[in-house]
């Protein structure tokens, strides 16, 4: 009698320990990023070490920038607190591997979306945050209106880049002659242009606006509106983690839709009282999209209140209200001159 | 000559200020209109408001003017997905509007006859003012449809990028002259506002 009782107890205990251990292992090795993020209490964001306007730390370690703010928006959607984003600076060469090895939850690091990157690294770029492309800087006094006016120019460019290849393609396609002035280091390219050794400097447009700040007279230079290559910059997540991918994707789309609907961090309380169906679905006074994402009804309100809509994020970091002053251009909303377009929330 | 003009300007402005003093307490002083003040041509606009060619995708034909009240930009659509963008001053809150109109008339150094609604709101304004450098309509005016509104120049370049007008769209004199030479009477003008919640 006593023996059976003790045996039962032992078996019961063993089962309990086993179940407990399995639960711990399951929790610890759960590959779903949302769950890991919530348990950790913060989002780990892979960012650029220092790119003005996109992600840069100050001397106290406070990060600012467009890519930084996007990651804060994801943190706001989950925790209603943008400070729950921790920034992990990553090198260009390591970034995709670091994401793959789960060192970060999301890469928000001015990365161009391309087919080979999704295939080679088993990654997924949920949506385009910023349409970049190769462009040209010229002295304002030259009175150039388009890059088609650049025939017979001396072009300053960094050696060994795709920038150089795009340049060759573009000039060949338009039957224009040019003279290359190339350097290995970007500093030397900039110096050569600033001292008048070339007629134009080519690089990605976002980079040109940053480089312009370092010219001896920034106001004397302008960036032409044309782009000769496609560099869609997008956040990156791992494949086969759909819940997480959906959160990242719809965080960006909520910000874009908010701008289109005129909902800002300033009028968000007013928006909560709106009777317009599209606004109601965005702020969660109608429908339950937030819960379906694994978040709360007010997930988009959290993003807009804490970080702002897409336009606010753009202007603050890289737009006219920032040092860079990059015109919205292609990144303007689709219905007012650009190509930024978010699927409807319905 | 310039000094004399400046003096006259200052004098007229002072009178205006004295006359408007009682209203100033009752309503927002209208810093947009200062008849008599001669435009400071050396005033440098913030890059955001300087004329520049930008990427602009639209189904409107080249030559169309698109005004974005929210952005405080006027776009003149060009071929090839581009537009010339100018910085503008727009109507203060409650004085903004949207719609589709055509340019019905063009005038150089236009005279100014403030409409009666404007006189009612700002009784200190002159009933008539001949065209010239001290005129708030500035160097050029383009009439919008049958409305009382215009695209015009200004004697207050510092108000570009702000919301101060009674519904007109103002550019600095150099820009309005540039635009004036590019658009004929009949040009389509689309005026856009931000969406309502």
A271 inside 8 A of chain B by CB:
yes
Alpha-carbon span B154 to B170, nearest angstrom: 6
State residue B8's pLDDT score: 52
State residue B164's pLDDT score: 87
Q: Is B82 tagged catalytic?
A: no
Q: DSSP string of chain B? A: -HHHHHHHHHHHHHHHHHHHHHHHHHS---TT--TTPPP-TTPPPPGGGS-EEEE---SSPTT-EEEETTTTEEEEEETTTEEEEEE-BEEPTTS---EEEEEEEEEES--B---HHHHHH-TTS-S-B-SSTTSTT-SEEEEETTSS-EEE--S-GGGTTSEEESS-EE--HHHHHHHHHH--TT-EEEEE-PPP-
Does the beta-carbon distance from A146 to B80 stay under 8 Å?
Answer: yes
Per the listing, tokens 């080519």 go with A202
Residues of chain A numbered 174-213 and touching chain B (CB < 8 Å): none
For residue B164, the enclosing domain spans: 2-192
What 3-state DSSP class applies to A34? helix
Q: What is the CA radius of gyration of chain B?
A: 17
B49, B160 contact by CB (below 8 A): yes
Confirm whether B197 is domain-assigned: no
Alpha-carbon span A318 to A209, nearest angstrom: 9
Backbone angles phi, psi at A7, to 5 degrees: -60, -45
Confirm whether B152 is domain-assigned: yes
Alpha-carbon span A261 to A298, nearest angstrom: 17
Residue A6 CB coordination number (10 Å): 10
State residue B193's pLDDT score: 85
A325 inside 8 A of chain B by CB:
yes
State residue B92's pLDDT score: 85
b/e per residue, B124-157, with b = 16+ CB within 10 A? bbbeebebbbbbbbbbbbbbbeeebbbbbbbbbb
State residue B6's pLDDT score: 53
Confirm whether B67 is domain-assigned: yes
- Helix H segments across A262-317? 268-271, 277-283, 289-292, 299-306, 310-317
Identity of the residue in B52, B82, B197 whose CB atom sits nearest the CB atom of A274? B197
Per the listing, tokens 């071929």 go with B79
Q: Is B13 tagged catalytic?
A: no
Name the pairing type of β-strands A178-183 and A153-158. parallel
Straight-line distance from the first to the last Cα atom of chain A, in angstroms, rounded to the nearest whole number: 65
Q: Which of B151, B168, B183, B189 is catalytic?
A: B168
B110, B142 contact by CB (below 8 A): no
Average pLDDT, chain B: 83
Does the beta-carbon distance from A337 to B83 stay under 8 Å?
Answer: yes
Instruction: Residue A262: name the closest of B194, B192, B108, B23 by CA.
Output: B194
Q: Own/partner pairs for B127-133, CB < 8 Å, 24+ apart?
A: B129/B35, B131/B107, B133/B5, B133/B38, B133/B39
- pLDDT digits over A157-175, tens only? 998 888 999 999 999 999 9
Tokens of B142: 């383009």
Confirm whether B126 is domain-assigned: yes
Identity of the residue in A263, A329, A338 whose CB atom sits nearest the CB atom of B197? A263
- pLDDT digits over A219-232, tens only? 899 999 989 999 99
Does the beta-carbon distance from B55 to A330 stay under 8 Å?
Answer: yes
Tell the CATH superfamily of the A134-229 domain. Periplasmic binding protein-like II (3.40.190.10)
Q: Which has more pLDDT, A69 or B120?
A: A69
Whether pLDDT at B80 is above 90: no
State residue A8's pLDDT score: 82
Inter-CA distances, A185 with A157, A158, A188, A189, Å: 9, 7, 5, 7
- Of the segments A48-52, A70-74, A323-327, which one has the largest average pLDDT value? A70-74
Mean pLDDT of A297-314: 98
Query: Which is it for the CA torsion B57, A315, A158, A115, positive or negative?
Result: negative
Q: Which has more pLDDT, A118 or B6?
A: A118
Confirm whether B83 is domain-assigned: yes
Residues of chain A above pLDDT 70, percent: 98
Number of domains chain B contains = 1
Domain boundaries, chain A: 34-131+232-336, 134-229
- pLDDT digits over A238-282, tens only? 999 999 999 999 999 999 999 999 999 999 999 999 999 999 999
- pLDDT digits over A115-134, tens only? 999 999 999 999 999 999 99
Probe site for chain B from A304, A336, A340, A341 (most B CB atoms < 10 A):
A336
State residue B29's pLDDT score: 38
Q: 3-state secondary structure string, A193-212?
A: HHCCCCCEEEEEHHHHHHHH
Q: Find, in chain B, the residue whose alpha carbon is nearest to that of A219.
A: B47
pLDDT band at A38 (very low <50, low <70, confident <90, very high): very high
Q: Own/partner pairs for A95-103, CB < 8 Å, 24+ apart?
A: A95/A46, A96/A120, A96/A121, A96/A123, A96/A236, A97/A121, A98/A46, A99/A46, A99/A123, A99/A236, A99/A237, A99/A238, A100/A238, A102/A238, A103/A44, A103/A46
State residue A28's pLDDT score: 63
Whether pLDDT at B103 is above 70: yes
State residue A16's pLDDT score: 85
Identity of the residue in A276, A327, A330 whose CB atom sits nearest the CB atom of B197? A276
Whether pLDDT at B2 is above 50: no
pTM of the model: 0.84
ipTM: 0.74
Q: Which has more pLDDT, B15 or A1?
A: A1
Identity of the residue in B54, B58, B68 whose CB atom sits nearest the CB atom of A225? B54
Does the beta-carbon distance from A320 to B47 stay under 8 Å?
Answer: yes
- pLDDT digits over B141-193, tens only? 999 999 989 999 999 999 999 998 888 999 999 999 999 999 999 999 999 98
Alpha-carbon span A74 to A239, nearest angstrom: 18
Alpha-carbon span A299 to A284, nearest angstrom: 8
Chain A neighbors of B193, CB-CB under 8 A: none
- On the question of a common fold for A34-131+232-336 and A134-229, the answer reads yes
Instruction: Residue A51: name the closest of A338, A237, A322 by CA.
Output: A322
Does the beta-carbon distance from B54 to A329 stay under 8 Å?
Answer: yes
Confirm whether B172 is domain-assigned: yes
The CATH code belonging to domain A34-131+232-336 is 3.40.190.10
Which CATH number fits the domain that encloses residue B14?
Answer: 2.40.440.10
Alpha-carbon span A252 to A58, nearest angstrom: 25
State residue A30's pLDDT score: 74
């Amino acid at each position: 009698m006593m023996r059976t009782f003790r045996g039962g107890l032992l078996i019961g205990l063993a089962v309990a320990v086993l179940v407990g251990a399995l639960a711990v292992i399951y929790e610890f090795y759960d590959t779903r990023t949302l769950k890991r993020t919530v348990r950790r209490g913060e989002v780990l964001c892979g960012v650029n070490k220092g790119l003005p306007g996109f992600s840069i730390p100050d001397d106290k370690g406070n990060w600012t920038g467009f890519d930084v703010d996007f990651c804060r928006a994801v943190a706001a959607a989950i925790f209603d607190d943008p400070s729950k984003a921790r920034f992990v600076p990553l090198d260009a060469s390591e970034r995709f591997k670091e994401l793959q090895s789960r060192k970060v939850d999301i890469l928000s690091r001015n990365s161009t979306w391309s087919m080979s990157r999704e295939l080679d690294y088993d990654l997924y770029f949920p949506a385009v945050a910023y349409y970049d492309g190769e462009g040209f800087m010229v002295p304002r006094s030259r009175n150039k209106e388009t890059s088609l006016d650049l025939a017979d120019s001396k072009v300053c460019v960094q050696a060994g880049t795709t920038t150089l290849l795009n340049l060759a393609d573009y000039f060949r396609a338009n039957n224009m002659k040019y003279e290359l002035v190339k350097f290995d280091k970007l500093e030397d390219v900039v110096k050569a242009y600033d001292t008048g050794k070339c007629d134009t400097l080519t690089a990605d447009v976002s980079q040109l606006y940053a480089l312009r700040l370092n010219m001896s007279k920034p106001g004397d230079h302008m960036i032409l509106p044309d782009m000769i290559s496609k560099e869609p910059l997008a956040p990156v997540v791992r494949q086969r983690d759909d819940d997480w991918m959906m959160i990242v994707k719809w965080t960006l789309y909520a910000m874009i839709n908010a701008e289109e609907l005129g909902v800002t961090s300033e009028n968000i309380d007013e928006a909560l009282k709106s009777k317009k169906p599209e606004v109601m679905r965005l702020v969660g006074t109608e429908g339950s999209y937030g819960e379906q994402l694994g978040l709360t009804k007010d997930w988009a309100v959290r993003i807009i209140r804490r970080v702002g809509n897409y336009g606010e994020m753009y202007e603050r970091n890289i737009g006219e209200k920032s040092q860079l002053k990059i015109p919205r251009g292609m990144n303007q909303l689709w219905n007012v001159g650009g190509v930024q377009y978010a699927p409807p929330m319905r | 000559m310039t000094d004399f003009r400046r003096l006259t300007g200052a004098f007229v402005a002072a009178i205006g200020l004295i006359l408007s003093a009682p209203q100033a307490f009752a309503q927002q002083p209208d810093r947009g209109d200062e008849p008599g003040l001669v435009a400071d041509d050396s005033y440098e606009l913030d890059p955001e408001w300087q004329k520049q060619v930008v990427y602009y995708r639209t189904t409107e034909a080249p030559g169309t003017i698109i005004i974005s009240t929210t952005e405080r930009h006027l776009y003149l659509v060009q071929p090839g997905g581009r537009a010339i963008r100018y910085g503008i001053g727009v109507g203060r809150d409650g004085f903004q509007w949207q719609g589709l109109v055509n340019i019905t008339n063009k005038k150089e150094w236009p005279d100014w006859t403030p409409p009666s609604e404007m006189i009612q709101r700002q009784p200190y304004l002159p009933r008539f003012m001949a065209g010239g450098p001290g005129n708030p309509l500035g160097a050029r005016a383009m009439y919008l449809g049958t409305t009382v509104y215009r695209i015009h120049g200004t004697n207050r370049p510092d108000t570009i990028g702000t919301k101060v007008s009674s519904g007109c769209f103002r550019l600095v004199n150099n820009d309005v002259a540039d635009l004036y030479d590019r658009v004929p009477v009949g040009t389509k003008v689309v005026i856009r506002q931000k969406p309502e919640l």
